[in-house]
C-alpha cells in the first residue's frame, strides 16, 4: 500500500464515521460540528488527489461558510421540543432502503472497476498548477455553464429576497 | 487544446439573451418607488408576454424558417451548446407555455394580492433555464440549466407567502427536488468517472461502449440508473412522484400549469437528449427500467386521480399518468431495432408534449378563472352547474377533459395514437394494452368533471369574470386542441422534421 493510499483510507473512514455521527447525535450543534469534520476529511482526500484548489474551496465554502450558516440558524431558531417522537414505520422503511443502497454501492465498487491508484497521475505544473488550470477550463470550454451558473445564483438571491420580504 | 471564447457563438443564444435582458428590465422596474403596485404590475405582465414573443420571433429572424426544416446541427461554446431543430422545437414549446402562463396569471395574482414584477422575472428565468436545457450538449450545462429552472420553480411554488399550503408545497418540492438533484449529480459523476467525459456526443459515439467492456461496467450502469432516477423525480414518475400532488395543489394555479407542462417537457427533453445521444448503446437496459416506471406511473396516477376531490390534485395525478404515457415513446427509442421505430417513438414524445402543453394549461386556466374573492374554486364540486353559469367556460373544460382522456377529434387522441403505436412497433404490445386499460380508467375521473358541469345544479350564482388575457389563452388552447385534433398534419410534420437532427442512431 502506498503512503497516499494509507492517508486516503484514514481520511475516508474518518469522513464516513463523522457523517454517521451527524445523523446519529441527538444534539443539533454536535451534528453541525461533526459535519465540519466530514468536510475537512473530504478536503484532505482532495489534497491526496492533488486537487488543491478544490480542497481550498471545500474548506472555505463548506466548512467555513455553510456550516457557520447552519450554526446561525440552529442558534436563532429554537429547536427544543420541535423534534418530536421518531416515526417507527418511516424509520424502518428508511433503514431498509438505506441499507439496500449501501449494499448496492459496496457490491458495485467491489466489482473491481474502481481505480485504487491514489496518487494523481495528471501533472498540471506545466499549465501553471491547479488554480490556473481550473481558471482556464472555466473561461474556455466551460464558459457557457459558468455564465448560466451566475444566472442561477442571481435567481437564488432574488428568491431569498422575495420570500423573506415582509410585504409583496 | 482548449480554445477561448468565440464571439460568433453569442449569435446562437440570442433568444435566451432576449429573455434574460427583459427579465433584468422587469426586475429593475419592479423596484421603482411604489407608484401603486396596481399600475406597474400589469405593465410588467405585458412586458413579460412581449419578451416571450420577441424571443420566439428571434428564432425566425436569426435562423430563418429554413433552419426548422434542415437536419443541421450547429454546435457552439466548445460543444456545450447544440442548436438543432430538436432544441428549437422544445424552445418553441417552452415559450408558448410561458406565454400562456403569463396571460392567465395577472388576474389570478391580483385576487391573491401577490401581483409583483418578480413573479414574471422568475417565470422568464425558468424559461431561460429550460431553453438552455434543450440545447445542452454536455452534463455540466444540463446540470446548471436544470438547477436554474428548478430554483425558479421552488420560489414560484411558494410565491403566496401568506398561504400555508403554498409554503408547505414549496418546502416539500424544494427538499425532494434537492435530494433528487443530489442523486442525479452522483449519477453524472459515476458516468464521468467511467467515460472520462461529460460530452454527450462523445459518450454515445464511443465512450459508452468502452465503459461497458471495461471492468468498470457495473459502475457505469449504476451511473445510468442514478441519472434515470434523478430525471424520474423531475417528470414525477412513480415511485418518485411524492412531491407532485402537494406541490401542484399548494402552488399558485398558473405556476401549477407551467410546472406540469414546461418543467415536465424540459425534463423530457433532457431524458431524450441524454438517452438517445449518450446512452443509446444501453438502449435495451434502460428501456426495461423505463417500462417499469411507465406502468407504475400510469396505473397509480390514474387510480389515485379517481379518489381526488380537489381538482388540482386530480390533475396532478393525471399528469403523473401522462408522464407514464410519454415514457412509452422513450421505451420505443430504447428498444427499437430499426431506425424507423426509434424515430417514431421520439416523434411521438415530441408530439405528445406539444399537445399536452396546450391542453393542460387550458384545463388549469379554467381552474384559475373559478378562483375569485372568497372562493378557492379548486374542488371538483366547484364545477357543478358551470354549463348554466358560464356555457363557454363549461364547453372549454369539456374539450380539455376529452382531450386529456384521448377521445378522437381532439389533439390528445393524436398524441396517444402515436405513443401507443410506438410501443407496438417496438414489440412491446403488452405495454400498449396496459396504456389502453389505463386510458379507460382515466375516462372515469375526467367524465366526473363533465358530469358535474352539465348535470348538476349550480351551487353559487357568482358570475365568472375572466380577464381578456385569460380569454385569449383559453381560446388559443381550444383552437389548438380542436384544429389539430381534426387536422394534425402540420404538427406531425413539425415533430417529424425536428427529430431529424437528433439521429446519432442513423448509423
Query: What is the per-residue DSSP string for B208-231?
Result: HHHHHHSTTHHHHHHHHHHHHHHH
Nearest to B110 by CA among B477, B473, B469, B475: B469
What CA–CA distance (Å, rounded) separates B162 from A15? 41
**A60, A135: one domain:** no
So what's the ipTM on this one?
0.90
Domain ranges, residue A26:
3-122
Residues A82 and A57 in one domain: yes
Q: Where a domain ends, among A84, A101, A122? A: A122
Q: Contacts of residue A112 in chain B, CB cutoff 8 Å? A: 215
3-state secondary structure of B393: helix
Contact A151 B20 (CB under 8 A): yes
Residues whose CB falls within 8 Å of the CB of residue A4, separated by 6 or more in sequence, listed in order: A48, A118, A119
Structural domain count, chain A: 2
Q: Is the peptide bond before B239 cis (omega within 30 degrees of 0)?
A: yes
Residue B175 pLDDT: 94
Centre a 10 Å sphere on the Cβ of residue B432 and count the other Cβ atoms it contains: 18
Pairing between strand B73-76 and B81-84? antiparallel
Do residues B295 and B434 lie in contact, with contact meaning Cβ atoms separated by under 8 Å? yes
Taking an 8 Å cut-off on Cβ atoms, the answer to whether A111 and B219 are in contact is yes
For residue A149, give the chain B residue with the closest CA.
B144
Whether the per-residue pLDDT at B496 is higher than 60: the answer is yes
How close A3 comes to chain B (CA, Å)?
23
Q: Do B140 and A142 touch (CB under 8 A)?
A: yes
DSSP string, B128-190: HHHHHHHHB-BHHHHHHHHHHHHHHHHHHHT--TT-HHHHHHHHHHHHHHHHHHHHHHHHHHH
A153/A94 same-domain check = no
Q: How far is residue A45 from each of residues A5, A51, A114, B120, measured CA to CA in Å?
A: 10, 9, 16, 44
Task: Quick: pLDDT tens for B384-422.
Answer: 888 888 899 999 999 999 999 999 999 999 999 999 999
Q: How far, in Å, CA of A38 to CA of B115, rounded?
A: 44
- Same domain for A142 and A160: yes
Closest C-alpha among B156, B108, B187, B62 to residue B369? B108
Q: How far apart are CA A64 and CA B261, in angstroms?
A: 40
CA distances for B73 relative to B17, B64, B267, B352, B502, angstroms: 20, 15, 21, 23, 8
When pLDDT is cut at 50, 70 and 90, the band that residue B482 belongs to is very high
Whether residues A60 and A83 share a domain: the answer is yes
Residues within 8 A of A (CB atoms), B 130-189 only:
132, 140-141, 143-145, 147-148, 151-152, 154-155, 158-159, 161
Cβ–Cβ under 8 Å, residues B316 and B245: yes
Question: What residues of chain B lie within 8 A of the CB of A151, using their CB?
Answer: 20, 125, 128-129, 148
A113 shares a domain with A61: yes
Q: What share of chain A is helix, strand, coil (3-state, %, to 5)?
A: 75, 0, 25
- Judge if A7 and A59 occupy the same domain: yes
With 0-12 / 13-18 / 19 or more C-beta atoms within 10 angstroms meaning exposed / middle / buried, residue A21 is: middle
Query: For the ranges B3-17, B172-186, B216-230, which has the lowest average pLDDT?
Result: B3-17
Q: Residue B148 and residue A109: Cβ atoms within 8 Å? A: no
- Give the residue among B323, B263, B270 at the shortest CA–CA distance from B123: B263
User: Residue B375 pairs with which residues in a beta bridge?
Assistant: B372
The answer to whether B297 and B238 are in contact (CB under 8 A) is yes
Cβ A108–B114 below 8 Å, yes or no? no
Q: What are phi and psi of B504, to 5 degrees?
A: -70, -15
pLDDT tens, residue by residue, B446-470: 999 999 999 988 876 677 888 899 9
Has residue B507 got a pLDDT over 50?
no
SS3 B372: strand
Better-scored residue on pLDDT, A20 or B11: A20
- What local confidence, expressed as pLDDT, does residue B12 receive? 85
Q: Which residue has the cell 430504447?
A: B334
Whether residues A152 and B219 touch (CB distance < 8 A) is answered with no
Q: CA-nearest residue of chain B to A155?
A: B152
Compute the half-sphere exposure of residue A77: CA atoms within 13 Å on the CB side of its CA.
Answer: 12
Among the listed residues B326, B149, B350, B354, the one whose alpha carbon sits nearest the alpha carbon of residue B237: B326
**Residues 6 or more apart whose Cβ sits within 8 Å of residue B285:** B221, B224
Interface of A with B (CB under 8 A): 104-105, 107-109, 111-114, 136-137, 139-145, 148-149, 151-152, 154-156, 158-159, 162-163, 168
Lookup: cell for B230: 434523478
Tell me which residue in A155, A162, A163 faces B148 most closely, judged by beta carbons: A155
> What CATH number has the domain bearing residue A59?
1.20.120.1200
Confidence at residue B97, expressed as pLDDT on a 0 to 100 scale: 96
The answer to whether B255 and B157 have CB atoms below 8 angstroms apart is: yes
pLDDT band at B4 (very low <50, low <70, confident <90, very high): low
Q: How far is B67 from chain A (nearest CA, A)?
A: 23
- Chain A closest CA to B374's CA: distance in Å? 20
Q: What is the pLDDT of residue A168?
A: 62
Which run of H or E residues covers position B40? helix B37-63
At B1 the pLDDT is 40
Instruction: Give the span between the Cα atoms of B269 and B130, in whole angstroms.
Output: 9
Residue B254 CA from chain centroid, whole number = 14
CB distance B475 to B369 below 8 Å: no
**Which of A65, A67, A69, A48 shows the shortest CA–CA distance to A57?**
A65
Pairwise CB contact (< 8 Å): A139 & B116: no
Q: Considering CB atoms only, which of B113, B144, B152 is closest to A145?
A: B144
Is the C-alpha dihedral spanning B127, B129, B132, B133 positive or negative? Answer: negative
Of B76, B73, B98, the closest CA to residue B86 belongs to: B73
Residues A136 and A57 in one domain: no
Which residue from B minimizes the CA distance to A156?
B151
| B198-235 exposure pattern, b = at least 16 Cβ within 10 A, e = fewer | bbbbbbbbebbebbbeeebbbbbbbbbbbbbbbbbbbb
Do A84 and A152 belong together in one domain? no
**Co-location of A112 and A150 in the same domain:** no
- Whether A20 and A65 share a structural domain: yes
CA angle B272–B149–B368, rounded 5-degree value: 100
Taking only the tens place, the pLDDT of each residue in B82-99 is: 888 889 899 999 999 999
B172 CA to chain A: closest CA distance, Å? 15
Residues 6+ apart with CB under 8 A from A53: A130, A131, A134
Beta bridge partners of B75: B82
Confidence of residue B503 (pLDDT cuts 50, 70, 90): low
Q: Are residues A127 and A101 in the same domain?
A: no
For residues B389 and B394, what is the distance between their CA atoms, to the nearest angstrom?
9
Collect all residues with Cβ–Cβ distance below 8 Å to B224 and sequence separation of at least 6. B187, B191, B279, B282, B285, B286
Neighboring chain B residues of A126 at a CB cutoff of 8 Å: none
Give contacts of A135 with chain B, Cβ < 8 Å.
Answer: none
Q: Which residues pair with B99 in a beta bridge?
A: none
Nearest to A152 among B115, B118, B147 (CB): B147
Closest CA to B419 of B506, B504, B353: B353
Asked if A104 and B222 come within 8 Å (Cβ–Cβ), the reply is: yes
168 residues of chain A, pLDDT tens digit each: 788 888 989 999 999 999 999 988 888 888 889 999 999 999 999 888 888 888 999 999 988 888 888 888 888 876 665 555 556 667 788 889 889 988 988 888 787 666 666 655 566 666 667 788 888 888 888 999 999 999 999 999 999 998 888 766
* CA-to-CA dists, residue B352 to B93, B291, B348, B467, angstroms: 11, 18, 6, 29
pLDDT (tens digit, 9 = 90+) per residue, B147-197? 999 999 999 999 998 889 999 999 999 999 999 999 999 999 999 988 888
CA–CA distance, B200 with B134 (Å, rounded to integer): 13
Amino acid at each position: 500500500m502506498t503512503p497516499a493510499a494509507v492517508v486516503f483510507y484514514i481520511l475516508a473512514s474518518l469522513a464516513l464515521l463523522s457523517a454517521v455521527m451527524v445523523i446519529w447525535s441527538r444534539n443539533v450543534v454536535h451534528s453541525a460540528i461533526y459535519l465540519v469534520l466530514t468536510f475537512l476529511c473530504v478536503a484532505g482526500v482532495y489534497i491526496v488527489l492533488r486537487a488543491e484548489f478544490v480542497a481550498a474551496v471545500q474548506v472555505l465554502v463548506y466548512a467555513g461558510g455553510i456550516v457557520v450558516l447552519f450554526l446561525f440558524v440552529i442558534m436563532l431558531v429554537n429547536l427544543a421540543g420541535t423534534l418530536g417522537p421518531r416515526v417507527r414505520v418511516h424509520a424502518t422503511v428508511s433503514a431498509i432502503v438505506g441499507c439496500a443502497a449501501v449494499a448496492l454501492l459496496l457490491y458495485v465498487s467491489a466489482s473491481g472497476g474502481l481505480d485504487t491508484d491514489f496518487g494523481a497521475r495528471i501533472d498540471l505544473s506545466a499549465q501553471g498548477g491547479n488554480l490556473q488550470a481550473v481558471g482556464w477550463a472555466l473561461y474556455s470550454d466551460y464558459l457557457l455553464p459558468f455564465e448560466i451558473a451566475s444566472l442561477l445564483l442571481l435567481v437564488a438571491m432574488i428568491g431569498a429576497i422575495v420570500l423573506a420580504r415582509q410585504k409583496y | 487544446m482548449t480554445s477561448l471564447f468565440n464571439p460568433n457563438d453569442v449569435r446562437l443564444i440570442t433568444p435566451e439573451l432576449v429573455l434574460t435582458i427583459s427579465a433584468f428590465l422587469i426586475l429593475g422596474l419592479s423596484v421603482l418607488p411604489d407608484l401603486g403596485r396596481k399600475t406597474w404590475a400589469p405593465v410588467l405582465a405585458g412586458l413579460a408576454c412581449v419578451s416571450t414573443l420577441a424571443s420566439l420571433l428571434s428564432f425566425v429572424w436569426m435562423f430563418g424558417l429554413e433552419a426548422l426544416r434542415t437536419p443541421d446541427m450547429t454546435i457552439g461554446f466548445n460543444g456545450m451548446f447544440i442548436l438543432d431543430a430538436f432544441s428549437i422545437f422544445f424552445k418553441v414549446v417552452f415559450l408558448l407555455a410561458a406565454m400562456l402562463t403569463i396571460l392567465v396569471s395577472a388576474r389570478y395574482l391580483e385576487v391573491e394580492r401577490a401581483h409583483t414584477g418578480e413573479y414574471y422575472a422568475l417565470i422568464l428565468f425558468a424559461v431561460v433555464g429550460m431553453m438552455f436545457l434543450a440545447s445542452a450538449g454536455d452534463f455540466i450545462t444540463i446540470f446548471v440549466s436544470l438547477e436554474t429552472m428548478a430554483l425558479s420553480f421552488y420560489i414560484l411554488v411558494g410565491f403566496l407567502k401568506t398561504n400555508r399550503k403554498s409554503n408547505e408545497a414549496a418546502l416539500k418540492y424544494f427538499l425532494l427536488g434537492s435530494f433528487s438533484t443530489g442523486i442525479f449529480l452522483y449519477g453524472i459523476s459515476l458516468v464521468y468517472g467511467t467515460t472520462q467525459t461529460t460530452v454527450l456526443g462523445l459518450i454515445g459515439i464511443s465512450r459508452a461502449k468502452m465503459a461497458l467492456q471495461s471492468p468498470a461496467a457495473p459502475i457505469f450502469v449504476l451511473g445510468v440508473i442514478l441519472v434515470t432516477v434523478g430525471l424520474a423525480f423531475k417528470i414525477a414518475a412513480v415511485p418518485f412522484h411524492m412531491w407532485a400532488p402537494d406541490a401542484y395543489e399548494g402552488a399558485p394555479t398558473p405556476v401549477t400549469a407551467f410546472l406540469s407542462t414546461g418543467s415536465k417537457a424540459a425534463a423530457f427533453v433532457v431524458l431524450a437528449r441524454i438517452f438517445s445521444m449518450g446512452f443509446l448503446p444501453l438502449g435495451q437496459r434502460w428501456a426495461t427500467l423505463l417500462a417499469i416506471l411507465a406502468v407504475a406511473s400510469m396505473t397509480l396516477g390514474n387510480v389515485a386521480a379517481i379518489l381526488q376531490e380537489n381538482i388540482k390534485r386530480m390533475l396532478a395525478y393525471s399528469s403523473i399518468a401522462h408522464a407514464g404515457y410519454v415514457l412509452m415513446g422513450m421505451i420505443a427509442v430504447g428498444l427499437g431495432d430499426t431506425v424507423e421505430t426509434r424515430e417514431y417513438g421520439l416523434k411521438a414524445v415530441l408530439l405528445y408534449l406539444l399537445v399536452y402543453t396546450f391542453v393542460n394549461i387550458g384545463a388549469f386556466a379554467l381552474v384559475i378563472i373559478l378562483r375569485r374573492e372568497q372562493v378557492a374554486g379548486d374542488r371538483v364540486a366547484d364545477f357543478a352547474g358551470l354549463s348554466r353559469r358560464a356555457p363557454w367556460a363549461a364547453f372549454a373544460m369539456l374539450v380539455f377533459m376529452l382531450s386529456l382522456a384521448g377521445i378522437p377529434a381532439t389533439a390528445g387522441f393524436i398524441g396517444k395514437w402515436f405513443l401507443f403505436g410506438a410501443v407496438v412497433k417496438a414489440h412491446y404490445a403488452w405495454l400498449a394494452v396496459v396504456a389502453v386499460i389505463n386510458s379507460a380508467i382515466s375516462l372515469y375521473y375526467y367524465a366526473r368533471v363533465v358530469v358535474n358541469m352539465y348535470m348538476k345544479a349550480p351551487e353559487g350564482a357568482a358570475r365568472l369574470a375572466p380577464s381578456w388575457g385569460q380569454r385569449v389563452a383559453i381560446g388559443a388552447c381550444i383552437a389548438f386542441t380542436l384544429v389539430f385534433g381534426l387536422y394534425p398534419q402540420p404538427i406531425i410534420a413539425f415533430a417529424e422534421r425536428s427529430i431529424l437532427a437528433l439521429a446519432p442512431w442513423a448509423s
